[in-house]
């Protein structure tokens, strides 16, 4: 994400919340922006990064104070953390293949490793956004900066720009090193991060919002056009959360649970048209207008239903 994240440097946590998607923005506008719900900010949530380099995902801007005593939900939260920590371990390794290729000056190999290196990041993006400053450093898009030459423009998309637009790795070693370093920090901090139940409940909708906001528009990976890979990873991450929450959801709202299941199936079917046997996806430029339109509707409908999860789970702030 780095989607909309960057708002006035120095504006602090509140300012950037405005850029957050969906609920976060609504809450703030409604004057109830307690984005630091009990214990969350101290864990590193939506406070200002101070670097002006973009910041957290939508979740980082949301009220995560809601909690529950539902043991099924609490188990889902614990299981989710276990899964995320493992994903971040894999993320560090996947990304090393990418950054090693960059440092070796192997443009072709680096391009090949770019999309795969992002998959695990995109799966856990909202929760990773709770770790201060990481999102803006590793995944901000150029829109968050004055231009591509801004030294604060770092992370995957900076490297993507050099590889696809310049066809060169010249001058990119510092960015490759920085990406590895930032992800190592993420890996370390994630293990100590307390996962708010509300983040787990809001996560499924947040991930689909990511798709609707940046991937389906082709803005996320504008140089490489590998947006559909990110798209699939966001959906996978959303589904993982939903599956973990399903035991509790099923007991409380079986109708909604089956509607969500059907919603994921519809998105999967549409996306499968662009999937390749090796796990990769066609380029965004191959996406047919009619399919894009259908996917937009499927995602929007799924978002409406996923947004009800915190209510069904009865999270109380």
Partner 1 sequence: MRGDHPTGARPARLGRRAFLGSAALGSAALGAAALAGCTSDEASGQGPGRRVPFLGDHQPGIDTPAAHFGLLAAFNLVSEDRARLARSLRDLTDEARALMEARPPERRDTAYPPAETGMLGPGGRTDGLAVTLSVGASLFDDRFGLAGRQPTELVRMPFLSNDRLDPAQTHGDLLLSLSADQPDVLLHALRQLMRRTRDNLVLHWMLDGYNRPDAAPVPGRTDNRNLLGFKDGTANLDITDKGLMDELIWVGADDGEPAWAVGGSYQAVRIIRMFVEFWDRTPLNEQQKIIGRDKASGAPLGQDRESDDPGYGDDPAGRRVPLDAHIRMANPRTAGTAGSRILRRGFNFSRGFDNAGRLDQGLAFVSYQRSLSKGFLAVQARLKGEPLEEYILPVGGGFFFALPGVTSEDAWLGQQLLA
24, 55 Cβ separation under 8 angstroms: no
Q: Does 293 bind partner 1 (CB under 8 A)?
A: yes
Nearest approach in angstroms of CB 14 to partner 1 is 21
- Cβ-based burial of 123 (10 A; exposed 0-12, middle 13-18, buried ≥19): buried
Q: Is 311 in the site for partner 1 (CB under 8 A)?
A: yes
**Alpha carbon distance 104, 82 (integer Å):** 34
Nearer to partner 1, 103 or 252 (CB): 252
Whats the size of the chain, residue-wise?
Answer: 317
Q: Rule CB under 8 A: is residue 300 a binding residue for partner 1?
A: yes
66 part of the interface to partner 1, by CB under 8 A: yes
Residue 200 in contact with partner 1, rule: CB under 8 A: no
Structure tokens at 306: 């996923």
Residue 288 interacts with partner 1 (CB under 8 A)? no
CB of 140 to partner 1, least distance (A): 28
**Euclidean distance between CA atoms 204 and 309, whole angstroms:** 9
| Residue 308 binds partner 1 (CB under 8 A) | yes
Assess 27 for contact with partner 1 (CB under 8 A): no
**Binding of residue 250 to partner 1 (CB under 8 A):** no
Q: What is the DSSP letter of 54?
A: -
Q: Which is nearer to partner 1, 38 or 93 (CB)?
A: 38
By CB under 8 A, residue 20 contacts partner 1: no
List, as one string, the DSSP characters of 113-157: HHHHHHHHHHHHHHHHTTSTTHHHHHHB-GGGSS-TT-TT--SHH
Question: Residue 181 or 316: which CB sits closer to partner 1?
Answer: 316
Task: Check residue 310 for interaction with partner 1 (CB under 8 A).
Answer: yes
Question: Which long-range CB contacts under 8 A does 258-266 form with residues at least 24 apart?
Answer: 259/305, 260/302, 260/305, 260/306, 263/298, 263/301, 263/302, 263/305, 263/306, 264/235, 264/238, 264/239, 264/302, 266/298, 266/302
Q: Is residue 37 involved in binding partner 1 (CB under 8 A)? A: no
Q: Are 51 and 136 in contact (CB under 8 A)?
A: yes
Q: Which is nearer to partner 1, 86 or 297 (CB)?
A: 297
Decide: is 23 part of the binding site for partner 1 (CB under 8 A): yes
Site string for partner 1, 111-150 (x = CB under 8 A): ----------------------------------------
Tokens of 151: 């030294």
Using rule CB under 8 A, residue 315 touches partner 1: yes
Q: Which CB atom, from 67 or from 113, has the smaller least distance to partner 1?
A: 67
Total residues contacting partner 1 (rule CB under 8 A)? 21
Does residue number 208 form part of the binding site for partner 1 (CB under 8 A)?
no
Which structure tokens are listed for 27? 């809450």
User: Under the criterion CB under 8 A, does residue 297 sit at the interface with partner 1?
Assistant: yes
According to DSSP, the residues that pair with 140 across neighbouring strands are 2
Q: Tell me which residues touch partner 1 (CB under 8 A).
A: 23, 66, 293-294, 296-298, 300-301, 303-304, 307-308, 310-317
């Amino acid at each position: 994400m780095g989607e909309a994240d960057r708002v006035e440097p120095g504006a602090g946590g509140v300012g950037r919340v405005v850029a957050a998607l969906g609920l976060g923005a609504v809450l703030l506008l409604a004057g109830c922006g307690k984005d630091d719900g009990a214990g969350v900010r101290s864990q590193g949530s939506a406070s200002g990064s101070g670097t002006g380099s973009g910041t957290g995902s939508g979740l980082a801007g949301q009220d995560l104070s809601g909690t529950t005593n539902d043991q099924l939900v609490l188990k889902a939260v614990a299981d989710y953390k276990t899964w995320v920590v493992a994903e971040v371990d894999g993320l560090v390794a996947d990304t090393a293949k990418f950054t090693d290729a960059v440092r070796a000056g192997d443009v072709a190999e680096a391009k090949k490793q770019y999309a795969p290196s992002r998959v695990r990041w995109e799966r856990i993006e909202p929760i990773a956004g709770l770790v201060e400053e990481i999102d803006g450093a590793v995944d901000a898009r150029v829109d968050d900066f004055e231009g591509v030459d801004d030294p604060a423009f770092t992370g995957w998309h900076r490297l993507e720009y050099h590889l696809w637009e310049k066809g060169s790795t010249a001058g990119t070693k510092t960015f490759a090193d920085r990406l590895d370093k930032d992800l190592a920090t993420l890996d370390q901090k994630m293990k100590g991060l307390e996962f708010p139940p509300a983040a787990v409940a809001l996560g499924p909708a947040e991930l689909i919002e990511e798709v609707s906001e940046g991937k389906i528009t082709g803005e996320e990976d504008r140089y490489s056009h590998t947006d559909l890979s990110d798209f699939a990873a966001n959906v996978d991450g959303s589904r993982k959360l939903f599956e973990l929450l399903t035991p509790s959801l099923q007991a409380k709202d079986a109708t909604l649970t089956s509607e969500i299941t059907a919603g994921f199936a519809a998105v999967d079917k549409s996306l499968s048209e662009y999937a390749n046997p090796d796990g990769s996806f066609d380029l965004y430029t191959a996406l047919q207008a009619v399919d894009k339109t259908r996917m937009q509707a499927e995602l929007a409908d799924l978002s409406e239903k996923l947004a009800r999860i915190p209510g069904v789970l009865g999270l109380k702030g």
